[in-house]
């Protein structure tokens, strides 16, 4: 049972799969998919919309990012669907197997995320820099149309993701990140509903485009490991973390990213940037263990970025089209 809803349009066309709740503590995607179902008029739809708002039921029910077996669904998708043993595996592996079948059968995929309870993420749309020029071109069009301020093309070598399954099946796929925290921000929900409608319009599946982004920055980085949101700035020790910079800030090397303190008789630990770029992830849950991700800084190479200005630091989590 994955709580899926299929909306069939009046006219024939492709199938777009929209996933939410791959991580169980990310709430804007779930509500956005619910609202998207209410917004879409089948009379104006060409093709089919397959909506799965809570892809990872056991994680959602336990208020956790991952499943009760300790696995992260977004790292568990089978790398070779045909040869996978996941159908006889743990609960998360079985969910990954079922979803992989859905992904391989669709024509386009959008996978919606947030930073979850522990992180907040600058609004971005990402895709893998896959080898097929046609698939890559479609992914770029989908990402631009989605309308968030940052577009991030990353390594095609990332495995275990919904996007890995789509890559192996030759299906264009994007994912999105917007904010985070334990609540459900209506601005994020709106950004996601509008983003999905805009992509449907771009794919000629739906009549009207709703919003046009004012400014987008595109970064494409094919290096191995690019696209890992959790690989930068691990906490050097446990304690209480407080970020010092707002999301969307352009960071210079050496800048203070945040502080950790633990004992009265020990000095406060400063976490400083080792490189420069755009701050796209902040840890917002103050309690940290050693190794927890604290921040991600995205190198912005002006040669590889296009379509406009750097994002504005002010109010990073306002909906697209309202950036000041």
Which residues make up the interface to Zn ion (CB under 5 A)?
23, 26, 113
Q: Beta strand 173-179 with 108-113: parallel, antiparallel or unpaired?
A: parallel
- Please state, in angstroms and as integers, the Cα–Cα distance from residue 185 to each residue in 124, 191, 205, 247, following that order: 16, 10, 28, 16
Closest by Cα among 113, 125, 112, 110 to 311: 125
Burial of 285 (0-12, 13-18, 19+ CB in 10 A): middle
Residue with Cβ nearer Zn ion (23 or 102) = 23
283 φ, ψ to 5°? -75, 130
Q: Residue 293 forms beta bridges with which residues?
A: 234
**Minimum distance between the CB of residue 301 and Zn ion, rounded to whole angstroms?**
26
Q: What is the DSSP letter of 304?
A: T
Indicate the residue among 40 and 196 with the shorter CB distance to Zn ion: 196
For Zn ion, the closer of residues 9 and 179 by Cβ is 179
The residue among 230 and 259 lying less far from Zn ion, judged by its C-beta, is 230
Contact 274, 253 (CB under 8 A): yes
Based on CB atoms, which residue is closest to Zn ion, 113 or 171? 113
Q: Which residue is nearest to Zn ion (CB)?
A: 113
SS3 179: strand
Whichever of 158 and 271 has its CB closer to Zn ion, that residue is 158
Contact status, residue 213 vs residue 148, Cβ threshold 8 Å: yes
State in angstroms the smallest separation of the CB of 266 from Zn ion: 33
State the minimum distance, in angstroms, from the CB of residue 174 to Zn ion: 14
Please report how close the Cβ of residue 124 comes to Zn ion at its closest, in angstroms: 12
Q: How far is the CB of 228 from Zn ion (least distance, A)?
A: 13
Runs of H (alpha helix) within the chain: 28-39, 57-61, 91-105, 133-146, 162-169, 186-202
Nearest approach, Cβ of 314 to Zn ion (angstroms)?
A: 25
Of 22, 168, 33, 18, nearest to 96 by C-alpha is 22
Nearer to Zn ion, 25 or 202 (CB): 25
Read off φ and ψ for residue 199, nearest 5 degrees: -65, -40
Minimal distance in Å, beta carbon 179 to Zn ion? Answer: 12
């Amino acid at each position: 049972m994955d709580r899926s809803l299929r909306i069939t349009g009046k006219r024939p066309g492709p199938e777009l799969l929209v996933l939410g709740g791959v991580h169980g503590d990310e709430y804007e995607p779930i509500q956005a998919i619910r609202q998207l179902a209410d917004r879409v008029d089948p009379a104006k739809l060409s093709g089919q919309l397959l909506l799965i708002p809570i892809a990872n039921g056991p994680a959602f029910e336990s208020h956790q990012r991952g499943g009760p077996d300790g696995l992260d669904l977004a790292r568990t998708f089978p790398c070779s669907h045909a040869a996978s043993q996941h159908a006889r595996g743990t609960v998360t592996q079985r969910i990954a197997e079922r979803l992989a079948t859905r992904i391989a059968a669709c024509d386009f995929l959008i996978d919606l995320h947030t930073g979850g309870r522990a992180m907040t993420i600058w609004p971005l749309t990402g895709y893998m820099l896959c080898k097929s020029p046609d698939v890559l071109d479609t992914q770029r069009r989908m990402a631009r149309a989605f309308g968030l301020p940052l577009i991030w093309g990353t390594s095609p070598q990332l495995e275990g993701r919904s996007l890995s399954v789509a890559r192996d099946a030759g299906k264009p796929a994007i994912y999105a990140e917007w904010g985070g925290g334990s609540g459900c921000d209506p601005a994020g929900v709106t950004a996601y509903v509008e983003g999905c409608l805009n992509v449907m319009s771009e794919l000629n599946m739906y009549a009207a485009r709703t919003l046009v982004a004012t400014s987008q920055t595109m970064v494409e980085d094919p290096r191995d490991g690019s696209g890992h949101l959790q690989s930068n700035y691990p906490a050097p020790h446990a304690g209480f973390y407080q970020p010092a910079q707002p999301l969307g800030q352009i960071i210079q090397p050496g800048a203070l990213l945040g502080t950790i303190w633990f004992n009265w008789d020990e000095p406060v630990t400063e976490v400083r940037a080792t490189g420069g770029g755009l701050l796209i992830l902040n840890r917002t849950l103050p309690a940290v263990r050693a190794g927890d991700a604290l921040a991600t800084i995205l190198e912005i190479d002006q040669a590889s970025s296009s379509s406009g200005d750097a994002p504005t630091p002010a109010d990073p989590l306002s909906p697209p089209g309202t950036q000041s």
